[in-house]
Structure 1
């Protein structure tokens, strides 16, 4: 079971990093979503899966219980990543509608920088 969860986290992280390194806006957003899923699975796996165990420590002192903290962290991270993804999609959609291209090109220079004459037309 540990090998399956570790493999899932590794595949999600690798594909998320690959998509973040693309030069398009929407694959970058999908890569960030995959990275957030990888972090969520990792956080959830830190809670040690206990089958048929109570979610909190009982009064009789049984040491077999599920830790509720990773579950709360994952729920909070899901809400935050959903809001972040929605905001990034709106930014990317606005940039695409304005420029008619979703390319992330950091090497283009502005016309005023190349000519050196800002005030003249």
Structure 2
């Protein structure tokens, strides 16, 4: 079970639509279907009843949704906190320089596969 599978399941359960869930997650509908199928296979039970136009939750999915909702918000919250802490990438480089980190040498590293790591030198 991975976070993508949980995200897909929680979104499909909220939207009751694979296509709307895919749109909300910015992925394709087959991706959502694949993730849900993999989750169902791993859990060994059907989480959703699918028809041509509707999606319904099963009894098992209601039970699993409680656990998924416990995990899902904490994952989303930790990811948001990390992004807030980090800031935009350009600020990271500036913070590293201010902290005294050595600047990355912009010259490309030439690799000589036959001579090992000691032969890798800057141009």
Q: TM-score range by the shorter chain?
A: 0.3 to 0.5
Q: Normalized against structure 2, the TM-score is what?
A: 0.37
| More relative contact order, 1 or 2 (CA 8 Å, 6+ apart) | 1
Q: Normalized against structure 1, the TM-score is what?
A: 0.38
**Higher strand proportion (structure 1 or 2):** 2
